[in-house]
């Protein structure tokens, strides 16, 4: 068991991480070389390369610079400080979770409508799909501005943008899931003269859970993207999106990259959490063993 974990997970994953790392350090040299040449004349090659990896405002920061910045801003700043990555991450995470909750709710409600109502089945799905063809970057500022003008600011507008991105996979997955029982199971319910609420509760909903969890994993990642996008155009001063924007204003590439990594870690954490919930739920339901 232990060796198979090593062989199947640890070794392949760490090999790729090491390869990416090597590639990263190699690319950082030509990317930052110009800047080093301008600041320091006639350095020996070895020192020139080391300088490429340790500039203050490099075009491409190296992994160790990003890690150092992250360790500093996560562990050595008060979490209430504007310089703390934990503070910004928490702001974004709140909007993400609120938007994810709203999006999941909206997605499930729409799916229930589509499955139970013929008119909704024919009319809603095209709009759901159309909603996702509009670039979120175009619609996000409008949502922020409109909600701002009616006095709604802070978390809610960001959560709405998150919801806009995350309800889609939930609708698609849940419609498929609620329709997954086969004809025999539906006929069987009919022979027991079950009401459509009973069919939903005893058959359709449990059958849809594997589909729901798959959708939630996509949805939660989309929620995070939505929250960050919501922080970009709003002149927000807090959140990972605001942190990235501030970084671009001041050429603080290391700051941008560490916010980016923080976002990636949060996304991974959220997806793994749902994966874990999925495993225990489906195991408990004996759908997987």
Binding residues vs another protein (CB under 8 A) = 184-185, 187-194, 198, 202-203, 206, 285-287, 289
Q: Which is nearer to another protein, 2 or 284 (CB)?
A: 284
State in angstroms the smallest separation of the CB of 226 from another protein. 33
DSSP string, 194-261: --HHHIIIIIIHHHHHHHHHHHHHHHHHHHHHHHHHHHTTTT-SSSHHHHHHHHHHHT-HHHHHHHHH
Q: Which is nearer to another protein, 42 or 193 (CB)?
A: 193
- Distance, in Å, from the CA atom of 35 to the CA atom of 162, rounded to the nearest integer, reads 39
DSSP string, 266-285: HHHHHHHHHHHHHHHHHHHT
State in angstroms the smallest separation of the CB of 197 from another protein. 10
State in angstroms the smallest separation of the CB of 206 from another protein. 6
- Distance, in Å, from the CA atom of 188 to the CA atom of 197, rounded to the nearest integer, reads 15
Residue 277 φ/ψ, nearest 5 degrees: -60, -40
State in angstroms the smallest separation of the CB of 278 from another protein. 14
Q: Which is nearer to another protein, 117 or 198 (CB)?
A: 198
Contact of 244 with 58, CB cutoff 8 Å:
no
State in angstroms the smallest separation of the CB of 179 from another protein. 17
- Distance, in Å, from the CA atom of 54 to the CA atom of 43, rounded to the nearest integer, reads 14
Q: Which is nearer to another protein, 33 or 281 (CB)?
A: 281
Longest CA span, the chain: 88
Q: Which is nearer to another protein, 137 or 288 (CB)?
A: 288
Using a 10 angstrom Cβ sphere, with 0-12 exposed, 13-18 middle and 19 or more buried, the burial of residue 112 is middle
State in angstroms the smallest separation of the CB of 201 from another protein. 10
Q: Which is nearer to another protein, 171 or 203 (CB)?
A: 203
């Amino acid at each position: 068991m232990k060796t198979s974990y090593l062989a199947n997970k640890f070794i392949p994953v760490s090999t790729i991480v090491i390869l990416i790392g090597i590639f990263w350090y190699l690319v950082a040299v030509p990317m930052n070389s110009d800047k080093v040449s301008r600041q320091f004349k006639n350095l020996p090659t070895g020192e020139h390369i080391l300088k490429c990896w340790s500039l203050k405002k490099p075009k491409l920061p190296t992994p160790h610079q990003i890690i150092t910045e992250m360790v500093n801003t996560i562990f050595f700043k008060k979490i209430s400080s504007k310089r703390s990555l934990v503070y910004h991450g928490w702001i974004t995470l709140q909007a993400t979770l609120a938007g994810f909750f709203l999006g999941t709710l909206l997605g499930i409600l729409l799916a229930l409508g589509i499955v139970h109502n013929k008119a909704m089945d024919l009319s809603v799905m095209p709009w759901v799909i159309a909603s996702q063809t509009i670039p979120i970057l175009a619609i996000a500022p409008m949502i922020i501005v409109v909600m701002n003008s009616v006095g709604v600011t802070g978390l809610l507008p960001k959560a709405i943008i998150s919801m806009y991105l995350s309800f889609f996979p939930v609708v698609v997955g849940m419609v498929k899931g609620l329709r997954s029982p086969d004809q025999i199971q539906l006929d069987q319910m009919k022979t027991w003269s079950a009401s459509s609420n009973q069919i939903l509760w005893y058959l359709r909903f449990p059958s849809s859970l594997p589909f729901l969890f798959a959708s939630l994993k996509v949805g939660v990642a989309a929620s995070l993207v939505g929250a960050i996008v919501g922080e970009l155009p709003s002149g927000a001063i807090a959140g990972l999106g605001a942190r990235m924007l501030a970084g671009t204003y001041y050429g603080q590439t290391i700051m941008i990259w560490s916010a980016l990594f923080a976002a990636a870690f949060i996304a991974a954490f959220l997806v793994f959490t749902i994966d874990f919930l999925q495993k225990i739920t489906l195991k408990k339901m004996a759908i997987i063993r």
